[in-house]
Amino acid sequence: MILFRPFLMPSLALGVLVVCLCLPQQVLAASRAPQFSESGMVASRSGWASQVGADILAAGGNAVDAAVAVGFALAVTYPSAGNLGGGGFMVIHMADGTVDTNDHRERAPLAATRDMYLDEHGDVIEGLSTASHLAVGVPGTVDGLLAVLEKYGTMTRAQVIDPAIRLASVGIRLDRDLAGQFERRLKDFAPYPASMGVFSNKGKPWQVGDVFKQPDLAATLRRIKRHGREGFYAGKTADLLVAEMQANDGLITHEDLAQYRSVWRQPVRGTYRGHEIVSMPPPSSGGVLLVQMLNMLESRDIAASGFGSAATVHAMVEAQRRAYADRAEYLGDPDFFPVPVQTLTSKDYAEQRYADFDPDKASLSEDIGAGEIPLESPDTTHVSVMDAAGNAVAYTTTLNLSFGAKMVAAGTGVLLNNEMDDFSAKENTPNFYGLLGRTANAIEPGKRMLSSMTPTIVLKDKQPLLVTGSPGGSTIITTTLQVVINVIDHGMDVADAVASPRFHHQWQPTRILLEQRGLSPDTLSALAAKGHTEITPIPSFLGRGIGDANSVMRTKQGIVGAADPRNAGAAIGVP
């Protein structure tokens, strides 16, 4: 018997910038179908931001220029996850074969301490790591986007930031998606006057069709345009951010901001059935777990067992169970903890880790600990970009929970993150997403918290085939895994690969999350017979579901973009 439990949980012309107050209806309609272009493609959660990226490509920019412009635009048009006050990861493939990753994950303030969220009894104080100024990590997005632009972009800072400035200052006409997001969170914004000043209309909910302007955010963007990173990490913006912290018992200081730098890291690489996987290294756990799970699954004939079959789901769940157990033990910030990346992503380790896989019987999570190896660590948004020259970018950015800590730093228009919850506040105590952690991800001053973000580029014959990734907290990694497997094993086009039903397992808790009607009754019965008896259904209608994998794929017919039908994103190509 299966136990079901409820789950709680504008346009640019060449040389001229023109912002539309409303998204053209044809863009909204097109976002639900795959888009084709020979000249470049952008897929993101926001139609306004995707249009900005596509127009940057049309104006002669490369995929990096477009991704950076989209990153700044998302802070305006998708503020629940797009941001200046959060952080992210970017995986880059250049046409000359160069592959690089930029880590602009937030850092713990210098005054942070290991037990800062525990009471005198050693218990976690509820809400302190998610809904207080102590939840805020030192933001990394601005430094990261500017560092990426400087190293691999071709356009000026003004060219890539101007679209976001205009969207913030002229405004956008709210659609049902954004207006609904703001209204649902109104009670969370209510304690913070600066948040209410942005996300309410004088205390009342914004309505569909209202023109939504963000003058403080536009001013902050102008300072970044004029002064670069110093326009955010020093000067007026920094003064306002620090004043917000000092007035509310937060920890971030001028020293924290001045010391922040994004980090260039070597990507995690793997192979899977003749394809090369390029993904994000720690402090992201995504790339390591993605490659590890693919290595385990390579021993199974997934194509023969078929999409959605009990055999396929069982094999994938058991790989997920083992990989997430390792995540809890070994993954963290590599600048503070010796993360055994090479071992965890090796074929030999996968063979050893999967050796006890039983095709007829589910494992018990309590019996699955971390593998024995020598040591050497929900609201986000993902952007996929390809250009005609062969450059590709996978970019995932976040504030952690939806709208982060729900606090706007007064005078800046900048929403603050609550990424400190991604540390292990206490060993073996779950965070908001139910993920466990230990010493590898303990809080330390200046340390980057572990993440599940998994921006990924799949190469075939050394050329980008697929750019993908997702938001979704702990489900990010398994969402990305399923898109990759859908393309490689099941031969799906990118639209079907993204739209197909998803499931998720993360070791603890031991349940399988499954999108409603994602598997047939016969498959569910077969899984129950194997011992998978606790399955939690997830609503899969628009705005809900597991993940939001806006993806781009190169085909013989051209570059194809697919916005995830679970949400109101858009894939927009260069005409």
Residue of 77, 220, 312, 380 marked active site: 380
- Say how many C-beta atoms besides its own lie within 10 A of residue 207's C-beta: 12
Q: Contact 334/281 with Cβ under 8 angstroms?
A: yes
* CB-based contact 563:550 (threshold 8 Å): yes
Task: Say how far apart CA 347 and CA 461 lie, in whole Å.
Answer: 21
CA distance 565 to 498: 8
**Residue 79: C-alpha distances to residues 84, 296, 351, 433, 511 (Å):** 9, 37, 43, 21, 31
Cβ atoms of 572 and 30 within 8 Å: the answer is yes
Cα–Cα distances in Å, from 344 out to 105, 288, 296, 477?
A: 22, 7, 11, 15
**For the stretch 481-508, what's the b/e string if a residue is b when 16 or more beta carbons lie within 10 angstroms of its beta carbon?**
bbbbbbbbbbebebbebbbbbbbbbbbb
Phi/psi at 90 (5° precision): -130, 130
Q: What is the DSSP letter of 371?
A: -
Rounded Cα distance, 401 and 343, in Å? 32
Residues 525 and 75: their CA atoms lie apart, in Å, by: 45
- What's the angle, vertex CA 476, arms to CA 474 and CA 478, rounded to 5? 90
DSSP code, position 537? E
Q: Two tokens at 309?
A: 């079959």
> For the chain, what is the radius of gyration of the CA atoms?
22
Q: Is 36 exposed, middle or buried (0-12, 13-18, 19+ CB in 10 A)?
A: middle
Of 194, 234, 229, residue with least CA distance to 215: 194
User: Residues 565-574, buried b or exposed e (16+ Cβ, 10 A)?
Assistant: bbbbbbbbbb
H or E element at residue 538: strand 534-538
Cβ within 8 Å of residue 438, ≥6 positions away? 328, 329, 424, 427, 428
As a whole number of angstroms, the distance between CA 459 and CA 479 comes to 18
Residue the block writes with tokens 């809080």 = 443
Q: How far apart, in Å, are the Cα atoms of 178 and each of 118, 175, 431?
A: 36, 6, 27
Query: Residue 478 catalytic?
Result: no
Q: Is 47 left (phi over 0), alpha (psi -120 to 50) or beta?
A: alpha
Catalytic (active-site) positions: 380
